[in-house]
Amino acid sequence: MPGVVGRIQEQISEPSDVQKIQKYRKEARAAELNFMLNAPLAVFINVIFLFLWAVNGSPAQAKEACSLQSEARQLTGLVLLDPDCEYDETFVISQSQTTLDCRGATINLQYQRDFGIQIKADAGKVITDISVKNCIILNADSAGIVIDNGVNVAGLSESQQMNGDAVRAFSPKSVVIDDVTIGAAKNAGIYIKKYITGVTVSNSTIKDSYGVCIYIDAYSKYNQILGNVFEHCGFRNRTSGKVKKIPSSFREGLAIDSASSNLIKDNVFDGNAGGGIFLYKNCSEHNAQTGIRVEPAAHNEIVGNTFMNMPVGVWVASRQSRDLSKSDCWDKSPYTGALKNRYFLDHAPSNIITDNRFANLTEVGVRIEDDFTTIRNNSFTNMPAPTEVGAQFRADLLNSPVTGTVDIGNTFR
C-alpha cells in the first residue's frame, strides 16, 4: 500500500487545474478500492489520504490552511495527513481499527473548536485499537484530545453512576496516543473522561495548557502515562477571550480525580503552576453537571518520574484541607460549625510513589493527606522538605490522623 500512496502523492505535487486534481482523486479512490478487494485479510482498512491543494499553489510551500470534506472528518482505517498542511477542524474517531497519523501536520483550532481529536464510540458501542500519532495540536477551546465513553454518562441515575464496572465496559479499548505535541489548550491538553480504561499516552509533550496538562477523570482505570513531558500548565484561565493569571486557580500537570490503578512512569513535570501530580476524590462538585464520585484515587503507581521547578511534586488527597464551599458538593461534610460544608473528606489511599526525582521545589516533594501511601527510593534535592504527612482538620476534629505511610530508601540533600 505505501506504493499506492507514494504514487498518488507524486502525481499531485504540482496540480495545474481543477480537472487534474479531480482526476487524481478518482484514481486514488480506485487504487484504494483495488487494494481493499485484493490485499490479504483486507477488512475495511480504509487509507484516506487527506490533502487540500490550492489550485495556483504548491504543497511544497510553507504550511497552508487545509480543510477536509465533511464526510472525511469521521475517520476510519489508516488516515494520513499532509505534513505541509495546517487544519482547523475536529477529527472524530468512532470506529475500531483506526489510526490517525498526522505525520507532523498541525491542527490549529484558534479557540474556535473544543477539541482537536475526539475519540468516542456511538452510544452503546465499544471501539478498540485506536492510534493517534505524530500530531501537533494547538489552541483548543477545551482539550487537544478527548477520549470519551460510549455511554451517555449525564443520563445515568446515581446508582448507575456508582456501578463503575458496568459503565467501564463501554470504554474504548487499546487507545494509544504517541508522539503528539499539544500546546495552549484552554482546559486540558488531554482529557481522559469518566469510566475510561486502557489508554496509553507516550512520548508526547503537553505544554502551556491553561488548566492541567492531562486530566484523568472519575472511575477511570488501568491507563498508562509513559515517557512524556508536561510543562508550564495550569497558570491561567481565559475569561471573555482575555488571559488572566489567577493564583487561586493554579493547577497541576496531571490530575487524577477519583481514578485508580493507573501507571504514571518516566515522565518529566517541569514548571507547572500548582505542582506535578495531584490525586484526589473531589466532593462530587457541581454534580448536576459533572456527576457523583464514590471511587477513590487509589492504587496508582508513580514511578521513575522527574518533578522540578514548581511548588509541589506529588500531592496525595489534595482536596483534604481545601475550602470547597463554592464547589456545590454532593458529598456530606463530616464537620460541624464553621467548617461544615466548607471541608470534606478526600480519599486517595494506597498509592505508590517510587524511584522518582524531585528537585528545585518551593514547598515540598510529596504531600500526603490520606492513608497507606508508600514512598520508596526517591531522591529529593533543593526544597524546604522532602515530605509532609498529615491532615490537620481530619486529625484534630475527627480523631483520624493519616496512617500507614511507608517511607523507605529515600534520599534528601
Q: What is the pLDDT of residue 38?
A: 44
Cell of 261: 490503578
Cell of 58: 504548491
Q: What is the pLDDT of residue 286?
A: 79
d(CA 128, CA 343): 41
pLDDT at 54 over 60: no
Among 384, 383, 375, CA closest to 356: 375
Q: How many CB atoms lie within 10 A of CB 1?
A: 13
Backbone angles phi, psi at 174, to 5 degrees: 55, 60
Q: What is the pLDDT of residue 153?
A: 78
- Where would I find the H helices in 92-234? 158-162, 164-168
Q: What are the domain boundaries of the chain? A: 1-65, 66-412
Q: Per residue in 131-168, pLDDT tens?
A: 999 999 999 999 999 999 988 877 888 899 889 999 99
Q: Per residue in 216-266, pLDDT tens?
A: 999 999 999 999 999 999 996 544 333 333 345 789 999 999 999 999 999
Amino acid identity, position 360: N
Contacts of 231 (CB under 8 A, 6+ apart): 205, 206, 207, 208, 213, 253, 268, 269, 270, 271, 272
Cell of 211: 488548566
Helix pair angle (2-11, 18-38), 10° resolution: 170
- Give per-residue burial for 182-192: e unless 16+ CB within 10 Å, then b: bbbbbbbbbbb
pLDDT at 303 over 80: yes
d(CA 271, CA 308): 7
Contacts of 223 (CB under 8 A, 6+ apart): 192, 196, 197, 198, 199, 200, 201, 216, 259, 262, 263
List beta partners, residue 183.
138, 207
Q: What is the pLDDT of residue 77?
A: 94
CA torsion angle for 345, 347, 349, 353 (degrees, to 10)?
-110
Q: Which CATH number fits domain 66-412: 1.10.3470, 2.60.40, 2.70.50, 2.160.20?
A: 2.160.20
Of 54-68, 99-113, 240-254, 261-275, the range with the lowest mean pLDDT is 54-68
Q: What is the mean pLDDT of residues 275-301?
A: 89
Q: How many CB atoms lie within 10 A of CB 370?
A: 29
d(CA 320, CA 199): 28
- Percent of the chain exceeding pLDDT 70 equals 80
List beta partners, residue 81.
50
Of 156-170, 282-296, 319-333, the range with the lowest mean pLDDT is 282-296
Q: What is the mean pLDDT of residues 80-101?
A: 95
Residue 2, classified by CB atoms within 10 Å of its CB into exposed (0-12), middle (13-18) or buried (19+), is: exposed
Of 68-82, 85-99, 258-272, 298-312, the range with the lowest mean pLDDT is 68-82
Among 412, 404, 406, 348, CA closest to 376: 406
Radius of gyration of the chain (CA): 23
Q: What is the pLDDT of residue 151?
A: 85
Q: What is the mean pLDDT of residues 121-132?
A: 93
Q: How many residues does the chain have?
A: 413
Q: For the chain, give the mean pLDDT.
A: 84
When comparing pLDDT for 325 and 407, which is higher? 407
Q: 226 and 265 in contact (C-beta within 8 Å)?
A: yes
pLDDT at 20 over 80: no
Q: How many CB atoms lie within 10 A of CB 125?
A: 14
d(CA 140, CA 365): 31
pLDDT at 180 over 80: yes
Q: 234 and 311 in contact (C-beta within 8 Å)?
A: no
pLDDT at 212 over 50: yes
Q: What is the pLDDT of residue 43?
A: 35
> For strand 229-231 and strand 268-270, is the pairing parallel, antiparallel, or unpaired?
parallel
Backbone angles phi, psi at 285, to 5 degrees: -65, 145
